[in-house]
Amino acid sequence: MFHATTILAYKGEHKSVIGGDGQVSFGNSVLKGNAVKIRRLGKDESVLAGFAGSTADAFNLFDMFEKCLNSAKGDLVRAVVEFSKEWRKDKYLRKLEAMMLVLNREKIFLLSGTGDVVEPEDGKIAAIGSGGNYALSAARALDKFATIDEEKLVIESLKIAGEICIYTNTNIKTFVLDDAGESQ
């Protein structure tokens, strides 16, 4: 388990949303409370990505994934497979205890340095990081029992995780893709 962050991705009926908290922890100390651990990727910014693990490693992995995405001409499935192969081949990167979530309007994937490429069983909700299970549980409940906007679902789920997990705060940042393909 990564004592680093909480990232939640949700592919709803009208929007895809990724969100993350802002806490950067070092051991039992909070170094920063407003870090941004999510990004828009691709030439048209049609892919959202988030990272749990070391901040320095995140920049390398985001750059590496974006190169794969551009090589695949924006095809998320092809980019995910190629990225997973590259991550596994790199002797330094495959030792990282890190995970990524990537999604667009069609697909959502969890990626790890061990070569895992996992599409959530429900095809719409995934979470990583130390508060990931809390956020995932809250998101599943809200998805099942509430009528709520996709971005609000992500924010409220991350707030719940931030109230429970000591490595997660409630300083939340989100990125949204809507049906028109526009980023918000």
Residues noted as catalytic: 5
Sign of CA dihedral 52, 58, 64, 67: positive
Written as six digits, the tokens of 159 are 């707030």
Written as six digits, the tokens of 60 are 């390398």
Q: Is 144 helix (H, G, I), strand (E, B) or coil?
A: helix
CB burial of residue 181 (10 Å; 0-12, 13-18, 19+): exposed
- CA–CA gap between residue 12 and residue 128 (Å, rounded): 18
Written as six digits, the tokens of 42 are 């691709």
- CA–CA gap between residue 63 and residue 147 (Å, rounded): 36
Alpha helices in the chain (DSSP H): 55-71, 76-89, 132-145, 150-164
